[in-house]
Structure formats: structure tokens, C-alpha cells
Amino acid sequence: MIDLRSDTITQPTQGMRAAMAAATVGDDVYGEDPTVNRLEQMVAGLLGKEAALFVPSGTMGNLISVIGHCGRGDEMIVGDQAHIFLYEQGGSAALGGIHPHTVRNLPDGSLDLDEVRDAIRTTGNDHYPVSRLLALENTHNRCGGRALDVAFMGAAGDLAHEQGLQLHVDGARIWNAAVALGVSPARVVQEADSVSVCLSKGLGAPVGSLVVGGSEFVKRARRTRKLLGGGMRQAGVLAAAGIVAISEMVDRLCDDHDNARALAEGISRIDGIVIDPQVVQTDIVIFSLERDGITPAQLSAGLREQGVKLNPLSGKLLRAVTNFHVNRTDIDRVVGAFEIVLSDDAGTSAPSKAF
């Protein structure tokens, strides 16, 4: 099977497995795991921040960060298509008591900063929650993996800070953003007060994310990690794979980006598939199925019969995500599978022959 459901399906490399087996470990809750400490120092340095904290997942990393910036009843301004808002079970409200105030995401994943300014509520009116945080996502999942450029990131940070807000960046795929933009990860998040970054997507590590920011912020984050049950013991076994991931897997992300564009170009020529390949920047391809007689779920099922896994999103949309298990030959096979399933004589049922 060619699996395009997500870059989270990646499995660790042999180098990661060897590093995990040989890792020197200690109790990380006591701060005594040398491999975890090394990973945290490396990632903090790569992002130009003072400190970092290893956590089990990106969802936990975002929640820890939001709680670190906001008190109960405070407000977070966030895009209406943001992962924090749509896909994290409302954890900031359920566990942090934090009110999400949504602003529409533009097609490229950015926000209209005039709308952000209008959404900010300060301490002057007792009827309102107080805006404390602006949360951005880079790259932006639901907006097709678009990378928010440094000019927008800088302007958003300037606006937040001049209004007394902090800036958090959900950087689950910040490595993809940096590669696509041709700048360092530190430059992308230069204005951010906190960042959550993931190791287990395009970088291929089996588990783990990090919360990155100032030393005092990360000290508070460590306490919140414990509160949420995220304290791990001999976590160096996992951190060792993360060290290999950030050392060896970032530069190759351009291959995923090239493959995603090739996929977009290939399927854009098929009747019923609507996508502009020019908007594909990173490893995520979101496209629309505009064809009578077949639904996204049926297309997904037909592709699975042809040896291709990808997920419907909502409405007419589907998503494919390239990853380091998928090469250019695989992309050609995927395009061929689309052609078979959507051929005029195939109807809604695909031939049983698998690639």
C-alpha cells in the first residue's frame, strides 16, 4: 500500500532504531535524562529560543503552551481552520478554561491582521474576556500545508506584542515551512513567544514534540506537563530518535514537497479533480472532487482497492500527504490509480486489481 493519509504514518529509520537501542537514559521527571536534555538543547538552539521541553504529542505541546500564556477565563485569538481549534477536542477550554475567539483563516493560512486587531479585547470592559494570546499555525494543515512567510509572521508578532498579547506558533510542521521558505526555523518563529514542534511527522521519529520558548515559560511548562500526565521517565529512548530526526531528516523534506507538487500536477489533469498545483508548497495536497456519481468516501474506497490510502476531509475535499516512505515512482502509481477509479467506464466501483 502507498499510504498518503498523513506524514504521521512514518516509521523510524534504521539509524533511529540504533540510536534508541544505544541511548543513555535517566529519569526525565527529575531532569536527569542526558539524551532528553541534549535533544531539548538542540531544538531550542535551532529555533533561537532559550529552552525546550520534550512532550509526548503536539496536542499536549499546544495545550501546555496555551495554558502557559492564559489564565482561566482569558481569551485566545485563533484561526477558524486552526488545528488547535478544530482537532484538539477543545482542550484549551475543557482543561484550561480558555476562551477561543476565532478569526477567519485566509486561503493561504494567514489571518487578516486588521481582523485580528478588531478581535482583541482588553481589560477596559467588564463584559469581555481579556485577550492574552494570538495563536498561528505554520505550516497550515487545513489550508493545504501553506507556509506563512516571515513578513507575515513578523507583522503578526508585532501586532500581538504592541497590543499586550503573546504569540504562540503551532509549528507541528515548522521544519517543512523553513525548507519551503528557504530560511532557518529560527527565522520563521523569531517573533514567537512559544512554539510547539513535532518530530513524528515528516521527520519520521516514532514519538514526540517539544515546547520551545523562554526559560521561565518552559519552567512553567514543565509543571503543566506533569499536571497533564505527560511526565516521562527514561524518555531518552525516544529522544534519541528525535536527535536523529532533526540531524538527518530535515533537509530531505524538499523531496516530499517535490513529490506533493508532482501529485497535484498529475491529478489536476483528471476530470473531476480540482486543484491548483501552484499553491502546493509543502507535503500536503488538498483537492476537491467535483464529479457527479461518486463521493469522496467512494473515491477513497476505490483508491484503497488500487493500493492507495488517503482520507476524505469534509464536503468535497480530500487530503493526501507525502512522506519519506513515498517516492516519485509511487506518485506515478497513485496518479494511475486515480485515473482507473475515475475512468468513465469505472463508475463508482474500482477494478479489484491492486498495484
Residue 168 sits in a domain whose CATH number is 3.40.640.10
Alpha-carbon span 283 to 278, nearest angstrom: 13
Give domain status of residue 123, yes or no. yes
- 210 with 266, same domain: the answer is no
Indicate if 279 and 229 belong to the same structural domain: no
Residue 19 in any domain: the answer is yes
51-55/209-213 β-pairing: antiparallel
| CA–CA separation, 229 and 351 (whole Å) | 48
Residue 152 lies in a domain: yes
Query: Do residues 90 and 236 both lie within one domain?
Result: yes
Q: Determine the 3-state secondary structure of 33 from DSSP.
A: coil
In the prediction, which pLDDT does 38 show? 98
Whether residue 265 is found in the same domain as residue 320? yes
Helical H runs in 47-162? 58-69, 83-86, 91-94, 113-119, 150-162
Half-sphere exposure of 49 toward its Cβ, with a 13 Å CA cutoff? Answer: 29
Containing domain of residue 107, as a range?
12-248
* Residues 228/270, Cβ–Cβ less than 8 Å: no
Give me the CATH number covering residue 330.
Answer: 3.90.1150.10
Coil/strand/helix, residue 8: helix
Residues 244, 257 within the same domain = no
What's the pLDDT score for residue 56? 97
Please give the backbone phi and psi of residue 288, each rounded to the nearest 5 degrees, phi first: -110, 140
Residue with cell 474506497: 301
Domain shared by 73 and 207, yes or no: yes
Domain count, the chain: 2
**Do 238 and 112 sit in the same domain of this protein?**
yes
Radius of gyration of the chain (CA): 21
Long-range CB contacts (within 8 A, 24+) of 113-119: 113/155, 113/156, 113/159, 116/77, 116/156, 116/159, 117/159, 117/163, 119/77
Query: Cα separation of 351 and 330, whole Å?
Result: 19
C-alpha cell at 136: 498561528
- The predicted pLDDT at position 354 comes to 30
Statement to judge: residues 48 and 85 lie in one domain: yes
- Cα–Cα distance list, 97 to 67, 134, 135, 216 (Å): 9, 16, 16, 22
Strands 166-171, 131-137: parallel, antiparallel or unpaired by DSSP?
parallel
Instruction: Indicate whether 337 belongs to any domain.
Output: yes
Look at the block and give the residue holding cell 486543484. Answer: 275
Q: Give the Cα separation of 132 and 129 in Å (integer).
A: 9
- Domain co-membership, 171 together with 278: no
> Is 110 contained in some domain?
yes
* Its pTM surpasses 0.85: yes
Q: Do residue 239 and residue 316 come from a single domain? A: no
What cell numbers appear for 291 in the block?
A: 464529479
pLDDT in tens, the chain (355 residues): 999 999 999 999 999 999 999 999 999 999 999 999 999 999 999 999 999 999 999 999 999 999 999 999 999 999 999 999 999 999 999 999 999 999 999 999 999 999 999 999 987 789 999 999 999 999 999 999 999 999 999 999 999 999 999 999 999 999 999 999 999 999 999 999 999 999 999 999 999 999 999 999 999 999 999 999 999 999 999 999 999 999 999 999 999 999 999 999 999 999 999 999 999 999 999 999 999 999 999 999 999 999 999 999 989 999 999 999 999 999 999 999 999 999 964 544 443 333 2
C-alpha dist (Å) from residue 3 to 29, 283, 295, 324: 36, 13, 20, 11
Assess whether the previous peptide bond of 102 is cis (omega < 30° from 0).
Answer: no
Asked if the structure places residue 1 within a domain, the reply is no
CA angle 38, 42, 164 (to 5 degrees): 120
- If asked whether residues 73 and 90 sit together in one domain, one would say yes
**Residue 4 maps to a domain:** no
| Cβ 158 vs Cβ 191: under 8 Å | yes
Report the distance separating Cα 30 and Cα 292, nearest Å: 59
Cα(53)–Cα(218) distance, integer angstroms: 7
